[in-house]
Amino acid sequence: MNRIVTVTLAAALSSLAFAGVSRAESLGMNTDRGIEQTLRSFQGNDFNVEQVHNWRNLDDEWTGPHSAPERSGQAVRDIQASIDANRSLAHRLNNEGVDVRNIVNAEQAADGSLTFYVR
């Protein structure tokens, strides 16, 4: 019985340690600088595009999800410039019918995928 408790406790502690590492890595990924860096280097195809008025958990029809910070005008321009600097990402967004000038926010998920919010 003691061996089972020991193994169970060790497994639980290991899970907590790994959860802490993934959380620590994600703390800055959606800050203004963090998302800009991600957008400049993003090479995947794992992204989606959401309309601002379709965001969940709305306070009204123009506010976004509580997890995505509202960006200042300068931060929005910096996000757009970061996308423009990544020609392959800009090309893939264009192929999806997304005008970079309509992107008002971007957010990276823990799995590395991106969500672009457009007006």
Say what the pLDDT of residue 21 is. 40
Say what the pLDDT of residue 23 is. 39
Locate tokens 């309509």: which residue? 102
Per-residue buried b or exposed e for 59-97, using 16+ beta carbons within 10 Å of the residue's own CB: eeeeebeeebeebeeebbebbbebbeebeebbebbeeee
For the sheet with 114-118, list strands across it: 47-51, 114-118, 103-108
**0.75 exceeded by pTM:** no
Per-residue tens of pLDDT for the chain, all 119 residues: 566 645 555 555 555 444 444 333 456 788 889 999 999 999 988 999 988 764 454 555 555 555 566 788 999 999 999 999 999 999 999 999 999 999 999 999 999 999 999 88
Percentage of the chain lying above the pLDDT 70 cut: 63
Say what the pLDDT of residue 44 is. 87
Say what the pLDDT of residue 116 is. 94
